[in-house]
Amino acid sequence: MKIGIDSIAFSTSKYVLKLSTLAAERGVDYAKYCVGIGQTEMSVFPPNEDIVTIAVDAAEKSLSKIDDRNSIDMVIFATESSFDLSKAAGIYVHHFLGLSDNCRIFDLKQACYSVTAALQLAKTYIAGNPNSKVLVIGSDIVKYSKNTSGEPTQGGAAVAIVVSKNPRIAEFEPYSGIYSTDIMDFWRPTYATEAIFDGKLSAHNYLKSMDICFNRYLQMSKLTIDNIDYACFHSPFCKMARKANKQLFGEKSIDNSLIYNAIIGNSCSASLYICLISLLDNTAEDMSGKRIGMFSYGSGSVAEYFSLIVADEYKSMLMSQANKNMLSNRAEISFEEYELFRNNKALQGKCYENAGKVSLAGIKEDRREYAIKETEL
Number of residues forming the site for ligand CAA (CB under 6 A): 26
Select 272 or 287, whichever has its Cβ closest to ligand CAA: 272
Q: Tell me which of 92, 297, 314, 370 binds ligand CAA, using CB under 6 A.
A: 297
Answer yes or no whether residue 156 interacts with ligand CAA by CB under 6 A.
no
The per-residue DSSP string of 20-76 comes to HHHHHHHT--HHIIIIII---EEE---TT--HHHHHHHHHHHHHTT-S-GGGEEEEE
Select 77 or 197, whichever has its Cβ closest to ligand CAA: 197
Q: Tell me which of 110, 154, 299, 323 binds ligand CAA, using CB under 6 A.
A: 299
Q: Minimum distance from CB of 175 to ligand CAA (Å)?
A: 23
Q: Tell me which of 186, 230, 295, 305 binds ligand CAA, using CB under 6 A.
A: 186
Site pattern 231..250 for ligand CAA (x: CB under 6 A): ---x-xx--x----------
CB–CB of 18/42 below 8 Å? Answer: no
296 forms bridges with which residues in the sheet?
Answer: 304
Q: Minimum distance from CB of 203 to ligand CAA (Å)?
A: 5
- Taking residue 195's Cβ as centre, other Cβ atoms within 10 Å add up to 22
Select 139 or 266, whichever has its Cβ closest to ligand CAA: 266
Select 37 or 141, whichever has its Cβ closest to ligand CAA: 37
Answer yes or no whether residue 266 interacts with ligand CAA by CB under 6 A.
yes
Q: Minimum distance from CB of 50 to ligand CAA (Å)?
A: 19
Distance CA(145)–CA(142), nearest Å, equals: 10
Residue positions annotated with a catalytic role: 80, 112, 234
Alpha-helical regions (H) of the chain: 19-26, 30-31, 51-63, 89-97, 114-128, 199-221, 238-249, 255-258, 261-264, 271-282, 320-328, 335-342
Site pattern 308..347 for ligand CAA (x: CB under 6 A): ----------------------------------------
Q: Minimum distance from CB of 327 to ligand CAA (Å)?
A: 20
CB–CB of 11/58 below 8 Å? Answer: yes
Distance CA(124)–CA(3), nearest Å, equals: 9
Helix or strand holding residue 332 (H, E):
strand 331-332
Q: Minimum distance from CB of 154 to ligand CAA (Å)?
A: 9
Q: Minimum distance from CB of 108 to ligand CAA (Å)?
A: 16
CB–CB of 278/257 below 8 Å? Answer: yes
- Taking residue 369's Cβ as centre, other Cβ atoms within 10 Å add up to 11
Length of the chain: 377
Q: Minimum distance from CB of 157 to ligand CAA (Å)?
A: 12
Select 94 or 234, whichever has its Cβ closest to ligand CAA: 234
CB–CB of 170/311 below 8 Å? Answer: yes
Among positions 17-46, residues that touch ligand CAA (CB under 6 A) are 29, 31-32, 35-37
Closest CA to 305 of 361, 233, 198: 233
Select 91 or 203, whichever has its Cβ closest to ligand CAA: 203
Closest CA to 245 of 290, 214, 283: 214
Angle, CA of 138, 98 and 10, to the nearest 5°: 30
Q: Is 327 left (phi over 0), alpha (psi -120 to 50) or beta?
A: alpha
Select 92 or 295, whichever has its Cβ closest to ligand CAA: 295
Site pattern 93..122 for ligand CAA (x: CB under 6 A): ------------------xx----------
Binding site for ligand CAA (CB under 6 A): 29, 31-32, 35-37, 111-112, 149-150, 153, 185-186, 197, 199, 202-203, 206, 234, 236-237, 240, 266, 268, 297, 299
